Amino acid sequence: MDLVFLVHGFMRTGASMIPMAVALKKAGYDTRVVTQFNFHRDIPTLADSLFGRVERTRDGIEKETGVRPDAHFVTHSMGGIVVRSMLARHEVTGPNRVVMLAPPNQGSRVAARWRDDILKLPWGDFDPLHKLLPGVRGQCATAGDPDAVFGVIAGVNRGKDDDGKVHVDETRWEHADGFIVVPYGHTFIMARPRVQAQTLAFLRTGEFLPEDVAERGARAG
């Protein structure tokens, strides 16, 4: 059975990934929902912590079954950057497929606006939004380019070029093997049947479905 870790976004918990986990479990995947307290921890620290959890889980399965499972990942928002960093910093053996939902691969201008223009706090050493800033100011764009198969699903709100928190251009990453845009907002993108159908397709084949096929499949499901 294929093993899939589900990694949530900034200031959320693994509970936000349960709808996706249920869909993957119904499709036959062994799912593990991860919760990380990520408000004040930087991306490399979160990546190292996640690596430890992934390897302990794989060790346990190998001890029980005699087979070491490949590790795949479905992520939301900053969780995708954590997985990018983890796979760049550590060797996770086997083919790794990663589906990134609404990832700020280039950082987030919305985060920068909150930090720089709205809150305007004397951040000092405590700067939780720093890691989400665009470009070299933050830790997203420089998280690494690991050797894995990545698919990116970006969201857009109606009539806009963003999902409310991340712009489409900020989700793009030249090392992604697949990229699609869906008409959903940031917060609940993982709960959409169409997104779940595309996630399953990428985990199985390393490619996304044509959108009309995914939409029909979501309606049928």
- Provide the whole-model pTM: 0.93
Mean pLDDT of the chain: 93
pLDDT, tens digit (0-9, with 9 covering 90-100), for 10-60: 999 999 999 999 999 999 999 999 999 998 899 999 999 999 999 999 999
Q: Which domain holds residue 122?
A: 3-220
Question: Which residue would you say has higher pLDDT here, 126 or 219?
Answer: 126
Long-range Cβ contact pairs of 174-178 (< 8 A, separation 24 or more): 175/145, 175/150, 176/100, 176/105, 176/150, 176/151, 176/152, 177/149, 177/150, 177/151, 177/206, 177/207, 178/150, 178/151, 178/152, 178/202, 178/206, 178/207, 178/208
Identify the CA nearest to 153 among candidates 144, 163, 164, 139: 163
Count CA atoms closer than 13 A to 112's CA, side-chain side.
Answer: 16
Beta bridge partners of 4: 31, 72
DSSP 71-116: EEEEEETHHHHHHHHHHHHS---S--EEEEES--BTB-HHHHHIII
Long-range Cβ contact pairs of 14-22 (< 8 A, separation 24 or more): 16/76, 16/190, 17/74, 17/76, 17/190, 19/190, 19/191, 19/196, 20/74, 20/190, 20/191, 20/195, 20/196, 20/199
Identify the CA nearest to 100 among candidates 194, 26, 209, 6: 6
* pLDDT interval class at 94 (50, 70, 90): confident
CATH code: domain of residue 127? 3.40.50.1820
For residue 215, pLDDT over 90 is answered with no
How far CA 132 is from CA of 63, 72, 102, 217, in Å, comes to 38, 24, 13, 34
Cβ–Cβ < 8 Å for 75, 32: no
Split into its structural domains, the chain has a count of 1
pLDDT at 213: 59
The encoded tokens of residue 121 equal 């706090």
